[in-house]
Structure 1
Amino acid sequence: MTSAAASPSNAARGQTASPAPAARPQGGADGFTARRAIAFLIMVFGMFMAILDIQIVSASLAEIQAGLGAGPDEISWVQTSYLIAEVVMIPLSGFLARMMSTRLLFTLAAAGFTLSSLACATSSSIGEMILWRGLQGFLGGGMIPAVFAAAFTIIPPSRRAVVSPMIGLVATLAPTVGPTVGGYLSHAFSWHWLFLVNVLPGIGVTIGAFFLIDFDKPNWKLFQRFDWWGLVALAAFLGGMEYVLEEGPSNDWFQDEAVAILAVVMLVGGITSFWRALTRDEPLVDLSAYRDTNFTMGSIFSFVMGIGLYGLTYLYPLFLGRVRGYDSLMIGETVFVSGMAMFLMAPVAGFLSSKLDLRVMLMGGFLLFAVSTWMLTGLTADWDFRELLLPQVLRGMALMTCMVPINNLALGTLAPDKMKGASGLYNLTRNLGGAVGLAIINQLLSDRQALHYDRLAEAVSWTNPEAVRQLSMMTANLAAHGITDDRAALQQLAGRVTGQAMVMSFIDVFFLIAVLFACLSVTALLMRKPRAAAGGGGGGH
């Protein structure tokens, strides 16, 4: 669908019966009006809500489980259902935006997201919660790609040094501070406020989107060509993949019947999805953007960014909870440093993007992320806020230094009519990177901890003088506290070995992530610089 600003005849194609639009108010030489600026800010806030809600429950699952009387195997679905539904909607949103217009899609998505948030807060059973969280994720996924598409179609290139850091900040800050915000709300109030906090802002976003977004026109004729079987295949493919990646590591992968069945569903759905996407004139997911080298390379970088972004957001709280014994609030206060570093780095990243070669900036950001993760390979069981401070600050700076050039390089060379579909695919790669990364991380942590435990246990024997000395000290210490059972000292020593094996498994994962980012950084030079006026800037699509 071509840009609505490309030709005056676009408004008279018979898609609507509305009279010819009035002349666009001039907000500047580039035609970017104050109305569109406010509309874009409203969309950015809606995207922030949707991404924040991915992680907002992660630190408060225990409180939700207790409140709903859920079992330990059920509570993980509060997060899994959101992720599965969101990952299906994100690539679908491009077609829906062309059919319904950005205004209508974003308004309906924001309204539905708000209502489903309220329904989550009023849920009385785990079944209800899972249902509403799935709907919340599906509708939230409709808001995210629209912001990226708007940034490269209605925003003039001259203003992208301000806009790109804004959307980059939201895309990285929201999942990073999600556990912090969630931990604070559930600790200070109750778990219900994890969802109630969305209601008033959601109403504001809905009203603002309906009255202010004017970027494009709907094309309802596309509804007649909607690929319903393609939708079923897409849901089977992406939903099955998300389930397998979420549940596989903790359920011994294909030894679990549900994981094995969903893997088959994923495979069939994937083959069908790609076949329909490549053979239909109007596919639900338009893959033609991958003909652009920058978009293909940018998607690879986005995928790896997802591994680093969601992987480290998961690993920091996991270490602090399992090894240090922190509660949700203490974890939130500790990891908030990365979010603060991102916030302060955003304007710097915007300035650098207008002065440096974006490819060099991207390479530097990935190398800085590798350095920040490499510093964690010196981890010990005693590390807390002080030791984690510098790695977290560098990580936050690196994420912003990476996100701005990735967005500009990947989307800045595409034609405006490709932007909606490409934006969905681009955001999908980041989410899939996070899902794949977390699955691999969980598997590595489990396997490496078992390996390190076995090796350490071999060294902790009666023939090892240091092990015997440590055991004697523990026995004497316990006896001083009135505990004379010899097995207590052995159990304490086994606990130390388990803890050390756990720390060593974290170190292994940090090492691999650092190597991944360092190796990929050099490929940034394979991309080409966007043209000065790439992606449009004055009109709708």
Structure 2
Amino acid sequence: MSANQATPAPPPAGSMPAAPFNGRLLTGFIGIVISAMMAGLSNRVGALALVDIRGVLGLGVDEASWLNTVYIAAELIAMPFSIWLSTIMSLRRFHMLVTGLFVLLSFVIPWIHDWSALLMLRSLQGLAGGMLIPILMVAALRFFPLPVRLYGMSLYALTATFSPNLGFWLAGTWVDILFDWRLIYWQNLPLGLLAIVMVYWGIPQDPTRPERFKQTDWFGMVCGVIGLGMIAIGLDQGERMDWWRSYLICWLIGGGISMTVVFLICQWYYPIPFIKPQLLVQRRNLGMGFSIFVFLLMVMLSSSKLPAMHLEALWGYRSLQNSPIGLLIAVPQPILSLGVALLLYRKWVDARIVMASGIALIAAACLICTHITSSWIIEQLVLAQVLQAVGQAMAVVCLLFLTTSVVQPMEGPYVAGTINTLRAFGVIFGGAVIGHFFRLRQHFHSEMLVDRIGLISASIPLSQDNLAALTDSARQQAFVLANADSYRMLAALAVLLIPFVLRMDYIAAPARQTSAPITKKG
């Protein structure tokens, strides 16, 4: 018997037999959905309104950037360990406690103006938020019976497609319409309290298992916390500190990778791990699907990061003016995600083809935006955003179906921790890659244009005013050209993902009974 076929460890609480699926359980699950979206919105809205927060608190650019960094680092740290902690306390009690902590921190943070205290509170809020999102996936796998499980996965997909794009509108509403920056944090109060009530009423109470503290891989946990935290901080602060020219960034990323490797080795061999990395090797759809997910999240940033950068830099748009580009994607997502789930129940539908088609639509949207000019505003971005909305729903829901369908009930909690850790990492990694690529291309185009201006001014005398105007125009064009290059890079990456999607194992449409899904090699 191989090491990977050894006697299985006792299942986490998330893999316990589900209670009968009814309206009460659905209400509790919707409460879990609300809290997960609340956590995602808190991160997104806080990042979009960082300029306003910085102004109110009198912080410099460097100081304020750490408010976002500590949140996303803590969020990434919490993801692998969330399900384990919910096993010890019970899913219902743990979720209510963490949501309550998140709400309390959201209430307190606007009253604190000390930078050190703010960093500590934001990191605690990130830990709480990072623990809420994996609970959503494990709840969908546990509580939704197979004939309707895809609908649960489609609701989870909204945390990757709906919440991030709704953030533009919320940030603009709180800051530019209601003129109260504290609502950036206080928006969580009604959502969190509602989620607590719904979970209390709808989710069954599991027995607590405090004896599992004795079975905890404490060494692995320490390595994981340190490693993931160092990687997140290094990636988020890398561009500001000029990457490898900074000893701190080299130390953070190099040390973080080393500690994370130790953590993964511990999880591979420990009898009762937090996550099971060997599942990524044993199941093609898990290993290939989760790898695709990391890069897909980076490609999906083309729908929010790049157009917002363009509108802010060239037209001075704030979040409220940028909100249409987010709403074009966010508003139809609930219907689109449920529609894709309904489509996948058809026997003649191949989820791989649907997912590949969705990624192709995202690639097409990126290619449209490669023609961007300095005159583009929201009207010129509408078609691309509509394609993004449809493509993202198709890609993410199908990916969740193809990956979770090969998961056995006992493995659900491990998979939930793994995919959410990779999800958080993918957003951080994607933002760092796009930001660095954009800066390199902007620097390249700026040098080329400045050289041309130098040649022109040498042959044709220019006044100081004309030279200044020409230089300013060159700086603007360098930004536009770098944006177009970023769209080309993401379009190429999306196209490269399609063959890997088609190489995933075929999964038949879920049967209207409790039989296991049929798989065959693609």
- In structure 2, what is the equivalent of residue 325 of structure 1? 316
| Amino acid corresponding to residue 129 of structure 1 in structure 2 | L
Paired with 2:442 and 2:14, the residues of 1 have a C-alpha distance of 58
- Structure 2 CA distance for partners of 1:231 and 1:311, relative to 1, 3 Å: farther
**Equivalent position amino acid for 1:358 in 2:** A
Aligned partner of 1:250 among 240, 243, 264: 240
Q: Match of 2:188, as an amino acid?
A: N
In the alignment, what sits opposite 1:236?
Answer: 226
Deviation at 1:417, TM superposition (A): 1.3
Contact 2:106 2:188 in 1 (8 A): yes
Which of 191, 197, 200 does residue 210 from structure 1 map onto?
200
Change (3 A) 1:76 1:311: farther
How big is each residue's C-alpha offset from its partner over 1:505-534, in whole Å with a ceiling of 9 and x where there is no partner? Answer: 111111011111111112222222346369
- 1:6: how far off? 9.3
Residue 170 of structure 2 corresponds to 181
What is the Cα deviation at residue 412 of structure 1? Answer: 1.6
Q: Distance in 2 between matches of 1:500 and 1:536?
A: 59
Q: Contact (CA 8 Å) 2:289, 2:402: kept in 1 or not?
A: yes
Mapped pair 1:520 → 2:510:
no
User: Which position in structure 2 is the counterpart of 1:263?
Assistant: 253
CA distance in 2, matches of 1:287, 1:534: 31
Q: Is the 8 A contact 2:450 2:474 kept in 1?
A: yes
Structure 1: unaligned runs, 5 residues or longer: 11-22, 25-30, 473-485
Instruction: State the one-letter code of the partner of 1:342.
Output: Q
Secondary structure (helix, strand or coil) at the match of 1:250 reads coil
Equivalent-residue separation in structure 2 for 1:198 and 1:89 (angstroms): 19
2:429 aligned partner: 436
What CA deviation, in whole Å up to 9, does each residue of 1:353-385 have, x standing for no partner?
222211111111111111111111000011001
> Which residue is 2:361 aligned to?
368
1:491 counterpart = 2:468 = yes
- The answer to whether the 8 Å contact 2:350/2:507 transfers is no
Match of 1:87 among 76, 80, 84: 76
Name the amino acid aligned to 1:214. P
Distance 2:278 2:81 in 1: 15
Shift of 1:394: 0.7
| 1:175 and 1:310 in contact (8 A); partners too | no
Look up the equivalent residue of 1:330 and give its one-letter code: Q
- 1:63-109 CA deviation, whole Å, 9 max, x = no partner? 11121111211101121111000001111112222322211221121
Instruction: Rate the CA distance shift 1:535–1:238 in 2: closer, same or farther, 3 A.
Output: farther
Distance 2:15 2:386 in 1: 44
CA contact (8 A) 1:57 1:179 kept: no
Mapped contact 2:449–2:478 kept (Cα < 8 A): yes
In structure 1, what is the Cα distance between the partners aligned to 2:61 and 2:186? 24
3-state SS of 1:218 partner: coil
- Matching residue's letter, 2:189: V
Aligned amino acid, residue 320 of structure 1? L
Moved more, 435-444 or 350-359: 350-359
How far apart are 1:424 and its partner, in Å?
Answer: 1.5
Following superposition, the deviation at residue 340 of structure 1 comes to 2.4
Answer whether contact 1:94 1:422 (CA < 8 A) is retained.
no
| TM-superposition CA deviations, 1:332-365 (whole Å, max 9, x none) | 2443222224344233322322222111111111
Shift of 1:257: 3.3
Q: Distance in 2 between matches of 1:332 and 1:58?
A: 14
Q: Is the 8 A contact 1:103 1:213 kept in 2?
A: yes
Question: Could you say which residue in structure 1 is the equivalent of 2:7?
Answer: none
Aligned 8 A contact 2:41 2:164 in 1 = yes
Q: Does 1:417 align with 2:394?
A: no
Gaps of 5+ in 2: 1-9, 517-522
Task: Give distance in 2, aligned partners of 1:304 and 1:454.
Answer: 30
CA contact (8 A) 2:79 2:420 kept: yes
The verdict on how the C-alpha distance between 1:334 and 1:5 changes in structure 2, with shifts beyond 3 A counting, is closer
Spell out the pairing of 1:25-174 with structure 2 (5 A cutoff): 31-174=20-163
Matches of 2:151 and 2:34 in 1, distance apart?
16
1:352 aligned to 2:343? Answer: yes
Question: Among 350, 360, 378, which residue is 1:385 paired with?
Answer: 378
- 1:260-279 Cα offsets, whole Å, 9 max, x none, are 33234313312321221123
Asked if 1:301 is matched to 2:278, the reply is no
Is 2:15–2:409's contact at 8 Å kept on the other side of the alignment?
A: no
Conserved 8 A contact 1:341-1:393: no
For 1:86 and 1:270, locate their aligned partners in 2 and report how far apart those are by CA, in whole Å: 16
Assess if the C-alpha contact under 8 Å between 1:306 and 1:431 holds in 2.
no
C-alpha distance in structure 2 between counterparts of 1:53 and 1:249, whole Å: 23
The corresponding residue for 2:398 is 405
Kindly indicate whether residue 264 of structure 2 is the aligned counterpart of residue 289 of structure 1. no
Q: How does 1:305-316 map to 2 (within 5 A)?
A: 305-316=296-307
In 2: Cα distance, 1:457 partner to 1:175 partner:
37
Quote the Cα distance in structure 2 between the aligned partners of 1:445 and 1:5.
42
Total equivalences in the alignment: 502
Alignment partner, residue 475 of structure 1: none
Q: Does 1:223 align with 2:200?
A: no
**Contact 1:184 1:329 survives alignment (8 Å):** yes
The aligned residue for residue 191 of structure 1 is 181
Moved more, 496-505 or 100-109: 100-109
Question: Measured at CA, do residues 406 and 124 of structure 1 come closer, stay the same or move farther in structure 2, by a change above 3 Å?
Answer: same
In the superposition, relative to structure 1, how do residues 536 and 63 fare at CA in structure 2: closer, same or farther (>3 Å)?
farther
Task: State how far apart, in whole Å, the 1-side matches of 2:408 and 2:513 are.
Answer: 5
Q: Which letter does structure 1 place at the counterpart of 2:260?
A: G
Comparing 101-110 with 39-48, which one deviates more in the overlay?
Answer: 101-110
Query: Structure 1-normalised TM-score?
Result: 0.87
Residues 107-128 of structure 1: CA distance to partner in whole angstroms, max 9, x if unpaired?
Answer: 1211111111112222222222
Is the Cα contact below 8 Å between 1:370 and 1:515 reproduced in 2? yes
* Cα distance change on mapping 1:5 and 1:535 into 2, 3 Å: farther
Whether the 8 Å CA contact 2:358–2:394 is kept in 1: the answer is yes
CA offset at residue 489 of structure 1? 2.0
- Whole-angstrom distance in 2 between the partners of 1:36 and 1:124: 41
- Identity rate, percent: 24
CA-CA distance at 1:256 after TM superposition: 2.0
On the 8 A contact 2:75/2:129 being kept in 1, the answer is yes
CA deviations on 1:416-472 (whole Å, 9 max, x unpaired) are: 11111211111221221111111111111111111111112222245589x95xx97
Paired with 2:369 and 2:14, the residues of 1 have a C-alpha distance of 50
Structure-1 separation of matches of 2:451 and 2:87: 63
**How far is 1:304 from its partner?**
1.5
Please identify, of 338-347 and 131-140, the stretch whose mean Cα deviation from structure 2 is larger: 338-347
Amino acid across the alignment from 1:440: V
TM-score scaled by structure 2? 0.90
* Mean CA deviation greater in 46-55 or 122-131: 122-131
